[in-house]
Structure 1
């Protein structure tokens, strides 16, 4: 049976939501993020892109490239609500879908051609989203995720592209290698040094050669370049919260250790959020005393997955909670009101250096194991008589 995979992407999503609220922004160069010396562009309109502005660019440079650029701080709660509108429409119209970020979806329509044409249904779904939300949206349709995602990129802005079954390789062949998902700037530069700029060259190379140059990633690059991608569409379920708890072998009043443990828990949960592309809007701390009385305090926060923003909130909640000066049996941290969002483009108040720091930390921890890189305050926690992460959920 021929697979039928649709990739949907909301065009310049943050900007589109702002334009929906303020139509005067339509057809103007707009950027979401900070315009100061340390601000970063989170998203920008197509009008801004004509000047060379792009996401993750320092706000100061963006303003130099486009003096008329309109900066907006951004409202993640409104973006989350708009994303939910689209998610609900898709959920009502398709059998299986996967939500990979706040503005991106995969839909598996395999086997549905016997009931109605997949392309026709995809077009109707796109029109329904546009009519009911007022947000521009593009899609690509092919036999797998990789080709559909590439097709969506070529269909933007506000269009669609269908890659017929069996035409995947010729469709990809003339494209620059950066169009292949997973090939970033560094990999593209390495390929250029090897004399490879077009996907067709990748297609014609021996897979073993790419494997020797890039390891297992080389095999995946070769497969994607040849239109091969068997990864499934994973049914979407909304995670409500992330939490971590620790029950001590011996009750304690060591506030210095407790604070270090809270920092370590927060770091670990933030790393997990970024890995799963979540931001949280609510933070809670729980303590259970030796007499089993349990107390919890929580606070709403601007949507984020940044350690340096959440750690102070966790510490402050603990200070408010721990007022009985009794032995503590259990301590926990919970992040809730989760929404989908990529950390690296949504830290509206962060500097470019801060974003790069988180990206580097996450990369090292992913490659060499969690807690490879962490704050100094957490050193030695794992060597205590308890496990600080025995309750991560």
Structure 2
């Protein structure tokens, strides 16, 4: 929403929806003004229109969103010694020891000013003793706010908030808790851990720790070069394009599933070829952050077609996804219908339960092993 308002200032202060234009589309993102009407991401566009008839619907521009995400990441790399990129627009920063030199509060304020100056985007942040409190507090001061929760004040900060604001509590869990009279995080924190464990299983114990402000999860240093890849050396060198295409589809689909299983998006697709004379060539394409198979498959095929120009026998084919960031494909399919999104979810659910080879595209097995 911030990028859209930056591109068109007349949109500021208005209820905005990013998503498909048809009634079968879904909301990919929405402005704070739209959220006041009860609209949220993944909601059917048709329902969102009923809740807020005056909402402005935008198709979305992942190219711009990716560009600004990379810009802010570069600012972090230039100014912060240790940070984690938790999503396309969310960062955790480790300021341990900073209070002895520059001061955490002053450093955070100066960093915010720099991001706003260089990107034009609003920035919300919260200084806290752990990632959990920082995330919850940041959500409380959006948009463009800032807050500091002193060490020891974690429980008192969380206490009056609704249980629905605690990460890890979805609609069903919130309903179960509220039905039992547990409406605030303080009430949740007062329930014995064993009782919550009995009520909600392992998730109950985790929620008890969160409700008490406990979180030891570390900052995971951002590494741009992390990748997910696979390659195959063929038993016999081949020039059979039908076979090569089938293998490319199978391999892309396999690591695409792994990408989604890890809740990550890729910003770059690389294809690798090794010819029969052992010459190895690679080509890559930078793309908007995604983990949707139909985009990854089309990109992989495009890169392969540009790379394979010798018409020589091939002995090895590989594909790699890099520039990985955390994210979920559901909010990226701007023009897809609810049915398509549910299809993706169902396919991945079956693969997780029974193995990824149980469901594959027919083209991935077409062509046999002819050479």
1:115-152, CA deviations, whole angstroms, 9 ceiling, x for partnerless residues? 23322322332233223322111111211111111111
User: Could you tell me which of 332, 350, 354 is aligned with 2:340?
Assistant: 354
Query: Is 1:57 aligned to residue 32 of structure 2?
Result: no
Select between 181-190 and 287-296 the one with higher mean Cα deviation: 287-296
User: Aligned partners of 2:78, 2:312: CA distance in 1, in Å?
Assistant: 52
Aligned partner of 1:371 in structure 2 is 356
The 3 A distance-change label for structure 1 pair 261 and 212 is farther
Q: Which moved more, 1:152-161 or 1:305-314?
A: 305-314
Q: Could you tell me how far apart the structure 2 residues matched to 1:224 and 1:300 are?
A: 38
Kindly provide the CA deviation profile for residues 266-308 of structure 1, in whole angstroms up to 9, marking residues without a partner as x. 1222233334554445544444344435566666655431113
Question: Which of these residues, 7, 17, 21, is aligned with residue 31 of structure 1?
Answer: 17
**Aligned with 1:148 (options 134, 150, 153):** 134
Cα distance in 1, alignment partners of residues 90 and 279 from structure 2:
44
In structure 2, C-alpha distance between the alignment counterparts of 1:321 and 1:145, rounded to whole Å: 43
Q: Does the CA contact (< 8 Å) of 1:36 and 1:59 recur in 2?
A: yes
Does 2:213 align with 1:188?
A: no
CA 1:65 to 1:131, structure 2 compared with 1: closer, same or farther past 3 Å? same
The count of corresponding residues between Structure 1 and Structure 2 is 367
Gaps in structure 2 of 5+ consecutive residues: none
| Distance in structure 1 (CA, Å) of the matches to 2:33 and 2:210 | 31
| Distance in 2 separating the partners of 1:39 and 1:380 | 31
Q: Deviations over 1:215-244 (max 9, x none)?
A: 333221111111110111112121375432
Query: Which aligned runs of 4 or more in structure 1 are off by greater than 6 angstroms?
Result: 253-256, 319-326, 378-381
Alpha-carbon displacement from aligned partner over 1:356-386 (angstroms, at most 9, x marks no partner)? 33345445655x58627632549999xx9xx
Shift of 1:182: 1.6
Paired position in structure 1 for 2:191: 205
CA distance in 1, matches of 2:321, 2:214: 38
Q: Which residue of 2 aligns with 1:11?
A: none
Is the counterpart of residue 134 in structure 1 residue 120 in structure 2?
yes
Task: Give the C-alpha shift of residue 251 in structure 1.
Answer: 4.2
1:369 and 1:160, CA in 2 relative to 1: closer, same or farther beyond 3 A? farther
Partner of 1:118: 104
Q: TM-score, normalised by structure 2?
A: 0.84
Q: 1:133 to 1:249 in 2, by over 3 A?
A: same
User: 3-state SS of the aligned residue for 2:203?
Assistant: helix
Q: Deviation at 1:36?
A: 0.9
Partners of 2:101 and 2:303 lie apart in 1 by: 55
**5+ unaligned residues in a row in structure 1: which ranges?**
1-14, 385-393
The Cα of 1:39 is off from its aligned counterpart by 2.0
What root-mean-square deviation, in Å, do the aligned CA atoms of Structure 1 and Structure 2 show?
A: 3.2
Measured in 1, the distance between the counterparts of 2:240 and 2:6 equals 52
Alignment CA distance shift 1:118-1:179 (3 Å): same
Aligned to 1:158: 144
